[in-house]
Amino acid sequence: MSSMSMSVRIRLSIMMFLQYLMFAVWWVPLAAYLTNLGIEGDSKSWILGVMPLGCLIAPVFCMIADRHFASQKVLAALNFGCAVLFLIGALQSSSTALFVILLLAMLCYMPTWSLTNAIAMTNAPAEKFPQIRVFGSVGWVAAGLFSIGASRLFHGLKIDGTAIPLYCGAGTALAAALLNLTLPDTPPPGKGKKASIIDVLGLRALTLLKDRNFAMFLLVSMLVMIPFTMYFSLGSQFFDSQGFKYVTMTMNMGQLVEIFVMLLVPFALARYGVKWAMSVGLAAMLVRYGAFLLGGVSGQTWLYMIAILVHGVIYGFFFVGGQVYVNKKAPPEICAQAQGLIVLICFGVGMLAGTFFNVKLIDMYTVDKVTNWNMIWIIITAMSFVLLVLFRALFRDDVTERKAVPASVAPSTN
C-alpha cells in the first residue's frame, strides 16, 4: 500500500492505543491485587501465569482465524470477549475462578497483538507502521493515568491493588471492540493455505538448534525471563509493599522511556552489532536489580526510579536485538516460524517458569506477611550477573559470517 487516508491512520492509531491500554491497566497492578486478596503460593503463580499460557495456546486460535475470517471482525469479537471476561473477573475473589476467567481472557487477548499488527500493515504504508505502532506504547503509559485520575476525581480513591483496574480493562476492551467495527476491511491473509500447528508454533525452526550458537542464544533468552519476570509480573507487589501510592503510573514510566529508546535501537544495531546491543540490555537488567538492592540496603528509595527507567533499555536492546538476530540467522523460508519460536520460548515457557520461580522465592523470604526483599534482590541480581557473563563468554555474533544453511540443517518444505 502506497498511501492511506487520514481517517484510516487515526483509527489505526487509536486501535493500537486501546489494545495495549486495556492490558496494561489491569496487568501491571495484578500481583498487588492478588496479595491483597490473600492469594499466594501456587494459586498466585497460576494466575500470574495466564499471560504466558495465553502465549502458548493463542497461536493456534490465531492460525484458525487467519484462514477463515476478516481480521477486523476477529479482533472485534476477541475484544468483546475480553470485555465480558474482565468484567466477570473483577467480581471474583476465588483463586480458581480468577485463574479460569483470566486464562480465557488471555486466550482472547494474546492473538490481538498479531492481529493489530496485521491490520495496520495491510492498510498502511510500511514506512508509516512504526508511527502507528508507537501509539501502543503510548497506551501502555497512559494506563497509569487511571489511578491518578480516579484518585483526584473521587478524592483519594485507591485503585492499585483493587478490582477497579479490571473494570477499567473491561471498559477499554468494549471501546476497542466498537472501534474495531469501523476499521477497513482486512480479508483473511491465509485463506486457502494449509493449516499446520507445527508451522504456527515455529517448531520447524527447531532445526536451527543444530547450530550451537543459536542454541546458546535460545537458552539464555529463556533463562533471562526468570529475572525479567520478577519486575514485569511481580513488580507491583514490591512497590505496593513499599507504600507507593500510584504503582501503575510509577512502573509505566519505564515504558515512557522505552518509546525513545526504540528510536536508538536500529542505529545501535547497525553500528555495534547484535552481541553488543543484547549485552547492553543484559547489563541494564543487572543495573535494575542492583538499584533495587542498593535502594533497599541504604534506604534510598530514589534508586528504585533507576530500576524502573532502564526497562526500555532492557526490552529494546535485548529482546528487539534478539529478534533482529533471529531474523538474520534463520533462512528466509522459516524466518517467520523462528520469530514465533522465540516468542513461544521467552514469553511462553520462560515467563511461565519465571512466574513460578519468583512467586516461590518471595514466599520463601516472607514471614508473617513481611517480605525480606533485600535477600530476593541479592539472588536476582546474582542471576542477572551470571547471565550477562554467560552470554558474553559463549555467544558469538555470527550473522554476518553465516553462509548458506547446509542441507542437513535446512527445514523440510513438506
Segment 338-395, tens digit of pLDDT: 777 888 889 889 999 999 999 999 999 999 889 999 999 999 999 999 999 999 999 9
Decide which of 156, 185, 214 is a domain's last residue.
185
Please indicate, yes or no, if residue 404 is contained in any of the structural domains. no
**Same-domain check for residues 165 and 229:** no
What are the tens digits of pLDDT across the range 323-342? Answer: 888 878 888 777 767 777 88
**Same-domain check for residues 238 and 139:** no
Please indicate, yes or no, if residue 27 is contained in any of the structural domains. yes
Q: Indicate the range of 63-77, 144-158, 178-192 predicted with least confidence.
A: 144-158
Decide which of 155, 185, 215 is a domain's last residue.
185
Please indicate, yes or no, if residue 191 is contained in any of the structural domains. no
Please indicate, yes or no, if residue 413 is contained in any of the structural domains. no
Over 50: is that where the pLDDT of 412 sits? Answer: no
Please indicate, yes or no, if residue 414 is contained in any of the structural domains. no
Please indicate, yes or no, if residue 411 is contained in any of the structural domains. no
Which residues form the domain of 317? 197-399
Question: Are the C-beta atoms of residues 243 and 32 closer than 8 Å to each other?
Answer: no
Burial of 61 (0-12, 13-18, 19+ CB in 10 A): middle
What are the tens digits of pLDDT across the range 282-335? Answer: 999 999 999 999 999 999 999 999 999 999 899 889 988 888 888 788 887 777
Portion of the chain with pLDDT greater than 90, in percent: 50
**Same-domain check for residues 337 and 206:** yes
Burial of 219 (0-12, 13-18, 19+ CB in 10 A): middle
**Same-domain check for residues 46 and 177:** yes
CA distance 328 to 399: 6
Residue with cell 536451527: 208
**Same-domain check for residues 162 and 240:** no
Average pLDDT over residues 234-246: 90
**Same-domain check for residues 287 and 150:** no
Sign of the alpha-carbon dihedral angle for 145, 150, 156, 161: negative
pLDDT of residue 201: 65
**Same-domain check for residues 201 and 173:** no
CA distance 377 to 393: 24
Mean of all residue pLDDT scores within the chain? 86
Portion of the chain with pLDDT greater than 70, in percent: 87
What are the tens digits of pLDDT across the range 40-98? Answer: 999 999 999 999 998 887 777 666 666 778 889 989 999 999 999 999 999 999 999 99
**Same-domain check for residues 40 and 90:** yes
**Same-domain check for residues 270 and 143:** no
Nearest in space to 251 (alpha carbons), one of 263, 259, 239: 239
Give the cell for residue 194: 494449509
Q: Which amino acid is at 188?
A: P
**Same-domain check for residues 351 and 209:** yes
**Same-domain check for residues 269 and 144:** no
Longest CA–CA span in the chain (Å) reads 68
Q: Which amino acid is at 233?
A: S
- What's the structural domain count of the chain? 2
**Same-domain check for residues 108 and 231:** no
Question: Are the C-beta atoms of residues 146 and 160 closer than 8 Å to each other?
Answer: no
Please indicate, yes or no, if residue 407 is contained in any of the structural domains. no
Question: Are the C-beta atoms of residues 14 and 179 closer than 8 Å to each other?
Answer: yes
